Amino acid sequence: MQIKSPKYIYDFFNGVIQGENVKHYKKLYKEIDFIYKTRDNQLSPDTVMYEVYSFNEGGSNILLWGLTVIYPITINGECNMTRGHFHEDREEPEIYFGCSGEGLLLYLDSQGKIFAEKVFKGSLHYIHGNYAHRLVNTGDDTLRVGACWREAAGHDYKSIDEKPFPNRVYKKDGKIDIA
């Protein structure tokens, strides 16, 4: 029997996935400044707000494994976060799991009902297909969150742009404030 090296390395400590088919993108402030309540003119438009790694093995029923790395930045007191989305196919769920840092996972249904779960190293989150999901970094360190979902899920950002998450997360004097 041949013993092979793994094709992918999931480096929890440095927050990267390495391997042949790994896709990686950086989300810059100028690309998502509209998701925050206010604009911070002191923040460079090229500031990396978060990074996303993912890979899949191809095939007809593609399963993706990903990692999101969200930096501890505040925008006039508002905690940094992902853009947030529904899955295009509302039947497709996703699993998130906390790797490092502290945060909140916001869930929003199509009726506008919202709730959140705390995210930390070892936390595990099952996101049913009918919930939009957004990660917020509430800590002083980088928040790293793993994810597993099917490519067939797709991403629907438009619904969130039209009807945004009703709550925002702020950090004032080290205390979290949800407004």
**Residues whose CB is less than 8 angstroms from the CB of residue 157 and which lie 6 or more positions away in sequence, other chains included:** 83, 84, 85
* CB of 162 vs ligand F6R, minimal distance in Å: 15
User: Residues 24, 52: contact at Cβ < 8 Å?
Assistant: yes
Here's the x/- map for ligand F6R, 71-90, by CB under 6 A: it reads as -----------xxxx-----
Q: Which is nearer to ligand F6R, 96 or 171 (CB)?
A: 96
Give the interface size with Zn ion as a residue count (CB under 5 A). 1
User: Residues 135, 103: contact at Cβ < 8 Å?
Assistant: yes
Residue 98 binds to ligand F6R (criterion: CB under 6 A): no
Beta-ladder partners of 26: 51
Determine the 3-state secondary structure of 33 from DSSP. helix
Determine the 3-state secondary structure of 28 from DSSP. strand
Beta-ladder partners of 13: none
Here's the x/- map for ligand F6R, 15-54, by CB under 6 A: it reads as -------------------------------------x--
Q: Which is nearer to ligand F6R, 94 or 171 (CB)?
A: 94
Binders of Zn ion in range 82-111 (CB under 5 A) = 94
Give which of ligand F6R, Zn ion, none residue 83 binds (C-beta under 5 to 8 Å, depending on kind): ligand F6R
* CB of 158 vs ligand F6R, minimal distance in Å: 12
Range 5-35 burial, b when 16+ CB lie within 10 A, else e: eeeeebeeeebbbeeeebeeeebebeeebeb
Binders of ligand F6R in range 119-178 (CB under 6 A) = 133, 135, 147, 149, 153, 155
The site for Zn ion (CB under 5 A) is made up of 94
